[in-house]
Amino acid sequence: MTDQDIETALTQELHRIAPDISLDDIDPAQDLRDEFDIDSMDFLNLVTALGKRFNLDMPETDYPEMRSFNALAAYLRTQAA
């Protein structure tokens, strides 16, 4: 999986759970939950969808490593390697 694959999937899944948010306005370093007012259920749906999409186990204990767009992309890169 390439960096572009990861960013595309992350962008698509974010848009799926929060379609009213302009993805062009993402600050990749900001906490996704704070930036987009995503609740814990939406975050769980995002992580679950990405886990299924890339066939990865993404345990809840790792959630702190997935706070921002950049952090989540880095986590996916690490897990997919």
48-68 mean pLDDT: 94
Q: What pLDDT does residue 24 have? A: 80
Q: What share of the chain is helix, strand, coil (3-state, %, to 5)?
A: 70, 0, 25
Q: First vs last Cα of the chain: how many Å apart? A: 8
Range of the domain at 8: 3-19+28-80
Q: Cβ neighbours of residue 59 under 8 Å, at least 6 residues apart? A: none
CATH number at 47 reads 1.10.1200.10
pLDDT in tens, 4-51: 999 999 999 998 988 887 778 788 999 988 888 889 999 999 999 999
Output the six-digit token pair for 9.
Answer: 């999937």
Predicted structure pTM score = 0.88
- Is a pLDDT exceeding 90 seen at residue 52? yes
Q: What pLDDT does residue 4 have? A: 92
What's the total number of domains in the chain? 1
